[in-house]
Structure 1
Amino acid sequence: MNHIAVHQPTGLIPVASYARTSEDVRQRDGHGVRHQLRINERTAHEHSCAVVATYSDNGRSASKDGVVRPGFDRLVADLVRGHTDGGQPIEGIVCVADDRLYRRAEDLARFFAALTSRPGRIYVDSQSVRDPYSQEGLLQAVRSLEAAVMETRVRSRRLSDWHWARAVEGVPHSGPRPFGRQEDRIALRPDEARLVEQAIAARIGGTAVRAIARDWCDLGVSGTRGGRPNAQTVTQIMTAPRVCGYRANKGQLLLVPETGEPVLGRWEPIVTPDRWQAVCATFSPGSLYLHRGSGAPGLTGRKRAAPSHLASGFLRCGAERRDGTPCHGALCAQAGRSKRSPYVYSCRSCGRCSISGPLADDALEQLLFTETHECVRLPEPVRRRWRSGEMGLEEKRKITASVITCCNVRPGVKGDHSWDYSRVQPVWRWADRVAPSGATA
């Protein structure tokens, strides 16, 4: 999301330009939103308008619940107040298509209420200039929403059917390679497969999974995405049906209709089905891959405890291991021993890093609202609701996740009880793809 102050030629209507892409997984350079913004410039020129501000959301879905779109939120806020941060009036909006702006009824209502909050505004797309105040203008928006919802449903069903068809044929999962497999997801990677086999044997023998994870970390093992192993990831690796050659889809073992036997994948198994069942029996059902893997349904009637602190899940250990590499394990909340720190965040992987819970939460909140971080500055309406106490913890965490990937926590100094906010170092989610405020798109 960014703003551009542009000289407004005499007689041209000042409009805001919005662009959005759902995914940016290949080039990760924001080319999709850049192309849309260029098209918007051309469209505005063709209809005697001038773009005075741009707003963009790169790699953000508009159809999924809970996805925060800061660019869209900033656009709505500026439409309501009638001008940009620089005081430039906004008299309309230009966008390549309606579904870039909204794919849910809630967003349609928010956008049209903001757009028509002042008289005389226009809506410009590649086809024409529309009157958002007229009945036809509203009906056209509703028709676009219905088409977008139907397209989303059809696309979701096609994708689900495609994955199911591949699964029943024993084709490996798409995405990153599983731990223990080569890039083809079929042949074994001997060093990793040996670790998995040994871990399963140790777990069946009574070894704690945290001890197995620590051993892997001490050996310098990293996951297929570069992360450090922890108890949860090791559990998922050991209890995934693929380790014994079985194929699952959306948290369920696939069975051959004629025989009722599990569908076998095309890859080499690491252990026998009996060993896989034995290691699964050492865990509670809610910990198994089939209940926690990608797309897996939760247990019926089982409610997972919601995080009770702002920084839960965002903090990563910045301590060094014996081999000199950073731990990067997750810091988990647990009870503290003082009134000043009734809870603390500690690394369960290496145990070498801990930080006061209130300190970490305060540091994270300060990072979100520090004016020097313009590329991730949150809209003023969000700031006001957050500061006033109107916003609940769940919404605060969603907003935090929209701008911060994680925070690396530097270990404290033994005996130093002062609060050092600089220990919490953010990894900004937008830093590599969103220009600071005032920069050109």
Structure 2
Amino acid sequence: MRGRATAELAATYERISDDREGRELGVDRQRKDNQAVAEREGLTLVGGAPYTDNDLSASTKAKKDRPQYRRLLADARAGRFSVIVAYTQGRLTRTPREYEDLIDLATQYGIRFLYVRSPSFDLNTAQGREIGRTMAARAAGEAEETAERVARAVTDRVERGEFHGGPRPYGLEPDAKTIREDEAERIRAWARHVLAGGSLRSIARELNEAGVSTISGAPWRGEVIRKILLNPRVAGLRVHKGAEYPSWSPEIIAPATWRALKVVLESPDRRRNPGSPARKYLGVGLFTCERCPGTTVNTSQNHNGQRTYLCKSCYRSWKAQPIDDWLVGPDGLVELLLAQEDQRARLMPRRESSVDLAALETEASAIRTNMAELATEYALARGAVRAALQQGMAAGEARLAEIEAEIVRAGQVDPLTEILGDDPVAVWRATTDLHRRQAVIRKLMTVALGPPIRGRAPWEPEKFIRVEPVEPA
């Protein structure tokens, strides 16, 4: 064991588990008390950055790393100081496993520990280590009991539909129970936009251009809108440990609409990279190569700076701008189709028979409750009973998947619904969001590109662009 440093250098460690205001007042108070103890004991504090972990837990359930605590232990092993001062033993750690690291510091490196509000004892003695381990076990138990009480209280509030506190949710007043209509109407419009094929990025851009800011006054971003739409609160729901409960807040959009949004926004096929070419060019992810069925085109630029569509399989390329203009430009193919009355009648989305959403939700809730009871029995069952319970749970999961699919279909929006009105061409021209334009085109037609026009050959799109009409579902 290495002897103590003659200068009796010391370091203080401060930590607080929850700093909701982010002002570090708790750690500042701890530091003053720790420094007072060091001064009283005649210790010299080492300089440099403080050993402080703010808003970080040290309990057995903690998942976040404590970087300054790790630095404290490393510097102790390196001999930078021989004494560690903390407010209590629990500020250093609340886990018996980590406490063994402190015992190692004492027995192998001669480190002493002083506390403001905990008894100080010598970890180099068997009795001191016994007392320390007992206190560490007690601290861990207290932390776990507190966590269980908090979790139980949260579950009770959820089951009673009570507001758990926090900042004002978007779409609601500060009481979280009264709808703020202007914001709620935006949320409804966002939902219609996304379900009709629109992008979150275009929503954010329009809000920022109109001078509308978030609750905090910051500019809008697509990810912020995504989080609002995915929050079950907007559908009057709350999800806790995988189970759904009625929320304290009123319904802004229908639960079926919210479930459809989840399918769209959480789809692995949905691109979330703002630099993706699919967000910039009409044909990417939409046009296919006639030679390579199923392969959609990408985009690139040739040596003259002109944008081209490029097949990712056979590497054929086509000049992009003439194709886009022919298809979606003024008096282009899309506008010609939308202007024809017989085409509009053919394309008008068919209304499905009404779905009894309330009955479906009731059935789904009953199935979830039944499956929870079956799972409890399954854990205790054996043999044939266990196999029968497993079959019952599988049947419940299958029916639940069918119900959720029906609810999602009921909440989806056909992208042609808002286009095919009194003046569909004008509505189409006002639709600037690329995702929505692509969604409309997918409902109208499929576009495949054949052998590209080369050299000085005249522009005859019908010779290499094959357009197939899509029959309404």
Calculate the TM-score normalised by the size of structure 1. Answer: 0.52
Aligned residue for 1:58?
54
Aligned residue for 2:69?
72
CA separation of 1:212 and 1:58: change in aligned 2, threshold 3 A: same
Would you say the 8 A contact 1:57–1:71 is kept in 2? yes
Give aligned-pair identity as a percent.
Answer: 26
Aligned residue for 1:37?
31
CA separation in 2, counterparts of 1:252 and 1:286? 23
What SS is found at the alignment partner of 1:57? strand
Would you say the 8 A contact 1:104–1:149 is kept in 2? yes
Structure 1: gaps spanning 5 or more residues? 1-10, 84-89, 255-262, 289-311, 313-335, 338-441
Provide the aligned C-alpha RMSD in A: 3.3
Aligned residue for 1:81?
78
Aligned residue for 1:272?
254
CA separation of 1:15 and 1:209: change in aligned 2, threshold 3 A: closer
CA separation in 2, counterparts of 1:93 and 1:274? 58
**1:59-106 deviation digits (Å, cap 9, x = unpaired):** 2222355533333233212211212xxxxxx33222221110112345
Would you say the 8 A contact 1:17–1:51 is kept in 2? no
Match of 2:132 among 136, 141, 163: 141
- Residue 172 of structure 2 corresponds to residue 181 of structure 1: yes
One-letter identity of the residue aligned with 1:35: R
- Residue 109 of structure 2 corresponds to residue 118 of structure 1: yes
Residue correspondence of structure 1 range 150-229 to structure 2 within 5 A? 150-229=141-220
CA separation in 2, counterparts of 1:200 and 1:213? 13
CA separation in 2, counterparts of 1:247 and 1:152? 27
What SS is found at the alignment partner of 1:56? strand
**1:165-186 deviation digits (Å, cap 9, x = unpaired):** 2222222342222211122112
CA separation of 1:167 and 1:111: change in aligned 2, threshold 3 A: same
One-letter identity of the residue aligned with 1:21: I
**1:330-375 deviation digits (Å, cap 9, x = unpaired):** xxxxxx99xxxxxxxxxxxxxxxxxxxxxxxxxxxxxxxxxxxxxx
CA separation of 1:152 and 1:228: change in aligned 2, threshold 3 A: farther
What SS is found at the alignment partner of 1:142? helix
Q: How many residues align?
A: 264
Farther-moved stretch of structure 1 (184-193 vs 274-283): 274-283
Aligned residue for 2:17?
22
CA separation in 1, counterparts of 2:231 and 2:24? 35
CA separation in 2, counterparts of 1:165 and 1:140? 37
CA separation in 2, counterparts of 1:225 and 1:287? 31
One-letter identity of the residue aligned with 1:234: I
Moved segments of 4+, more than 6 Å: 285-288
Aligned residue for 1:108?
99
Would you say the 8 A contact 2:96–2:137 is kept in 1? no
CA separation in 1, counterparts of 2:217 and 2:57? 26
CA separation of 1:138 and 1:287: change in aligned 2, threshold 3 A: farther
CA separation in 2, counterparts of 1:251 and 1:51? 53
One-letter identity of the residue aligned with 1:15: A
* Displacement of 1:202: 1.7
Would you say the 8 A contact 1:77–1:114 is kept in 2? no
What SS is found at the alignment partner of 1:117? helix
**1:395-414 deviation digits (Å, cap 9, x = unpaired):** xxxxxxxxxxxxxxxxxxxx
One-letter identity of the residue aligned with 1:25: R
Calculate the TM-score normalised by the size of structure 2. Answer: 0.49
CA separation of 1:61 and 1:202: change in aligned 2, threshold 3 A: same
Farther-moved stretch of structure 1 (178-187 vs 243-252): 243-252
What SS is found at the alignment partner of 1:130? coil
* Displacement of 1:212: 2.9
Would you say the 8 A contact 1:55–1:71 is kept in 2? yes
Would you say the 8 A contact 2:176–2:248 is kept in 1? no
One-letter identity of the residue aligned with 1:69: R
CA separation in 2, counterparts of 1:226 and 1:116? 55
Aligned residue for 1:249?
240
Structure 2: gaps spanning 5 or more residues? 1-5, 274-299, 302-473
What SS is found at the alignment partner of 2:12? strand
Residue correspondence of structure 1 range 291-370 to structure 2 within 5 A? none
CA separation in 1, counterparts of 2:17 and 2:207? 36
CA separation in 2, counterparts of 1:282 and 1:38? 53
* Displacement of 1:128: 4.3
CA separation of 1:198 and 1:73: change in aligned 2, threshold 3 A: same
CA separation in 1, counterparts of 2:217 and 2:143? 33
Residue correspondence of structure 1 range 391-406 to structure 2 within 5 A? none
One-letter identity of the residue aligned with 2:255: P
Please identify which structure carries the higher helix content. Answer: 2
Farther-moved stretch of structure 1 (162-171 vs 99-108): 99-108
CA separation of 1:204 and 1:34: change in aligned 2, threshold 3 A: closer
What SS is found at the alignment partner of 1:247? strand
Would you say the 8 A contact 1:33–1:56 is kept in 2? yes
Would you say the 8 A contact 1:93–1:122 is kept in 2? yes
Structure showing greater radius of gyration is 2
